[in-house]
Every structure is written in structure tokens, then in C-alpha cells.
Amino acid sequence: MAVFFFAIFLFAVIALVIDASEKTDDFVKSGLTAGEIITHYYYGFIPHIIALLFPLFVFIAVIFFTSKMAGQTEIVAILASGTSYNRWLRPYLLGGCLLGLLLWVSNQFIIPKAEKIRGGFEAAYIDSRSSYNALLQSSSDIYFRIDSSTYAGIYNYDTANNRGGNFFSYKVRNGKVIENMRADMILYDTSNKDWMLSEVLERKVFENREQLSYVATKHIKFPFKPTDLEKDKYTKDKLTTPQLISQIKVEEMRGSEGLNELKIERYRRDATPVTVLLLTLIGGIIAGRKVRGGSGSHLAMGFTIAALFIITDRFSTIFSTKGNLPPMLAAWIPNMIFIWVVYYLYKKAPK
């Protein structure tokens, strides 16, 4: 455990130095003090980077101390004393399960709270100044589904003022439009907690007639809030798992784009702790064999396996978000592959 926490400390410090050097200009432009930057950003960034690299921390720690044991012939002595290979490997299994459980709990409830801090700072002081984000905000036409039969759209929606230009909605039944509403402007009323429409024209279609009505202003409680209309790339990271599941259901009902990204995040929170267990076993099996290269050879082999794992994970994610690969399969493909890697290494390990 001491090696594990040392690895966390070492890599966290390196990540902090690199991140601070990249964002120095943004910190200066923000006008915040050093204490405010720490509380408003790094309180969220540190848990984020630890959770992101947690499997790698575990992997390096396992390879490091196991390789030292193998180099001093301790493992050979343990096995020669009559201890079975499975009994020797049992602490790695238990340790991997405990560390995986720690990461699982953190992914479900703790890390999302930290992501609110980090995401809020980056959205306010870093992303808002990028030219790409400015272009994204300038083309803010929104189209979505309110419920199972009602569709809507808002032109030129301003997330800062919760105001939009032309608004339209229509309800469909049996493939036919039965209600249609248009307004020149839509605004969220913070006092009444509803939406105010201006210059509203409503049209209802019956079997043999139509009904047309007009009002200057109208207040409606739509089942969506301004936060639901914001284009926030940090949304999936900020939500706890129960909130993320609810958000996925809402976005499925609306037929929103980018739904696979939310689903992948949901399934990855369960898959990553299993990754910790697999990498723990791989590290123990690889480093438990005494080789001429010592720790260096073990680390080189370990980093090669870790790189292959990351590449597999990235490819599966891209195939899901940009293609038709099911999100659950995309999140679990790396683990499914590396279960066989663990099995192969276990069978080939000298016992």
C-alpha cells in the first residue's frame, strides 16, 4: 500500500505541475487569487486526475514491489516452501478487489462532486475564452423532444440570459400533427419557475375543423429547465450515478444526440473497478517471475500492456460514439479482452 500511495502522490504532483504550466495564462486572466484557484479548481482537479490514473497507479505499484520480491528470490522461496501458486496470488486478488471497490464507490458518488468544481471553473474561465466555444455558442439553435409525442425547437438560445428567439412545438398522434404552437420569444421566468412566451400563436387540429388562437404573453410550465438546454460537455462527469441514470432516461425520451456518451460513462463507472482487479493480477503474474532485466524489464512489459489497454478502450469508445457499437459493449470490451490475457499469463506462469 505504501508503494501505491507513493505512486499516487508522485503522479499527482507531476500532473499538477504540467496542468499549472498549461493554464497559467488562464489563471492570470481569471483575476482569482492563488487560494481561490486552489479551492475553485484544484480541489476538483486532484480527485479527477487520481481517479483517471487510478488503475495505472495500482498497476505500477504492484509491478514495482512484486519485482523487488522476485529479484531477491523471495517468491521462489515462498513457492518452494510448499505454498501453492494460487495461495501466493490470493493477496493480489483480495487487494485488487478492495482497491476496485474503493474506486467504484468514488466513481458513483465522490468523483462527480469533484467534477462539478473542476468543470465549473473550466467552463467559466477556460472554455468560455476559446474560439471554438464562441463558435459553438453562436450557433445555438436547439431541437429536442419534450415528451413521447411533443417536439420543440428554439432558435438563437442564449444560455447566459435563458432567452431564446423563435420557439415552436408540435404534438403528434398516429402520425398526424394535432397541436402546433409558435412564439416570437421564449424566456425563463425565475420568479414563477416557468417559461414565458411572447406573441403566441396556437393551432389545434380536430377531425373536421381547426382552432386558431393568439395571446400576447403566456406562461407555461414545460418539463425542461434552462440547465437542460445548456451545451455542457461536463454534464456526464458532474452527475452521480443515480442522477446519470435519470438523465439518460430523459435524453432517451427526447431523442437527444450524444446519448451514447452518457451511456458509456454510466457503464465505465462499473467497468473501471474491474480493470483495477485485472491489472493487479496481470502485474502480480508478470512481476512474480524472476528475469534477467529485473524491475526494468517488468515495467517495460507492464507499460506495453497498459498502452494496449488504453488503445483498446479509446477505439471502443470512438466506435460507440461515432458508430453503432453498443455503449455497454464499448465500456466492457477492454476488460473482456484482458480477462483472456490474465488467463493466458496465469497458465504460462511458472508455479
* 62 and 287 Cβ atoms separated by less than 8 Å: yes
Cell of 157: 438560445
Calculate mean pLDDT across residues 263-268: 95
Do 103 and 180 belong to one domain?
Answer: no
Calculate mean pLDDT across residues 219-239: 85
* 180 φ, ψ (degrees, to nearest 5): -145, 135
Do 120 and 11 belong to one domain?
Answer: yes
User: Of the ranges 129-133, 291-295, 347-351, which is most confident?
Assistant: 347-351
Do 258 and 342 belong to one domain?
Answer: yes
Please tell me the predicted confidence (pLDDT) of residue 16: 92
Do 51 and 189 belong to one domain?
Answer: no
Do 213 and 82 belong to one domain?
Answer: no
Q: Is residue 236 part of a domain?
A: no
Q: Is residue 276 part of a domain?
A: yes
Calculate mean pLDDT across residues 139-168: 87
Q: CA 272 to CA 295: how far, in whole Å?
A: 26
Q: CA 178 to CA 149: how far, in whole Å?
A: 10
Q: Tabulate helix, strand, coil % of the chain (nearest 5).
A: 65, 15, 20
Q: CA 265 to CA 284: how far, in whole Å?
A: 29
Distances (CA, A) of 298 to 46, 48, 65, 210, 274: 28, 28, 11, 77, 22
Please tell me the predicted confidence (pLDDT) of residue 135: 44
Do 118 and 160 belong to one domain?
Answer: no
Please tell me the predicted confidence (pLDDT) of residue 132: 43
* 269 and 108 Cβ atoms separated by less than 8 Å: yes
Do 209 and 187 belong to one domain?
Answer: yes
One-letter amino acid at 237 equals: D
Calculate mean pLDDT across residues 126-154: 71
Q: Is residue 303 part of a domain?
A: yes
HEC assignment per residue over 219-255: EECCCCCHHHHCCCCCHHHHCCHHHHHHHHHHHHHHC
Distances (CA, A) of 333 to 45, 97, 259: 28, 20, 19
Number of structural domains in the chain: 2
Q: Is residue 305 part of a domain?
A: yes
Do 10 and 103 belong to one domain?
Answer: yes
- Structural domain for 261, as ranges: 2-128+245-348
Q: Is residue 234 part of a domain?
A: no
- Write the pLDDT tens digit of every residue in 89-139: 999 999 999 999 999 999 999 999 999 999 889 888 887 665 445 444 444
Do 119 and 199 belong to one domain?
Answer: no
Q: Is residue 74 part of a domain?
A: yes
